[in-house]
Amino acid sequence: MKRLLFGLFAAGVALSTSAFTTFTPKKKFTAFYYVLVDDLTYQKANFLPVQDNCEGTAANKCYLGYSSYQGNSFSVDAIPAAPSVQSSYKGLYVQ
């Protein structure tokens, strides 16, 4: 009987402590931004892109951000997976 009560008590404690923990996602540091300079090419930007500079009717996102270096440029057909930041607008980035 003691074992049963102890087991129920341990299970209750385990469930009650896990019910009050919150999930906090890891924050990714975005240091490398790439802007769409023509319909086929993203180029590394040395500045923080802003949505106001997204114009045109290109079929891809205006800019992408990564936490690791992806090269000086890449094609829209070879976009590296999982950008940590991306624009909500499609179009070319103009300055």
Closest CA to 75 of 34, 46, 47: 34
Q: What is the pLDDT of residue 13?
A: 74
- Answer yes or no: is 86 within a domain: yes
The answer to whether 39 touches 76, Cβ cutoff 8 Å, is yes
Closest CA to 63 of 44, 87, 43, 81: 87
- Answer yes or no: is 43 within a domain: yes
- Answer yes or no: is 3 within a domain: no
Instruction: List pLDDT tens digits, range 58-93.
Output: 899 999 999 999 999 999 999 998 899 999 889 999
Q: What domain range includes position 63? A: 32-93
Instruction: List pLDDT tens digits, range 10-59.
Output: 777 776 765 566 655 556 678 899 999 999 999 999 999 998 999 988 89
* Residue 68 DSSP label: S
- Answer yes or no: is 4 within a domain: no
- Answer yes or no: is 48 within a domain: yes
Q: What is the pLDDT of residue 20?
A: 62
Whether this model's pTM surpasses 0.85? no
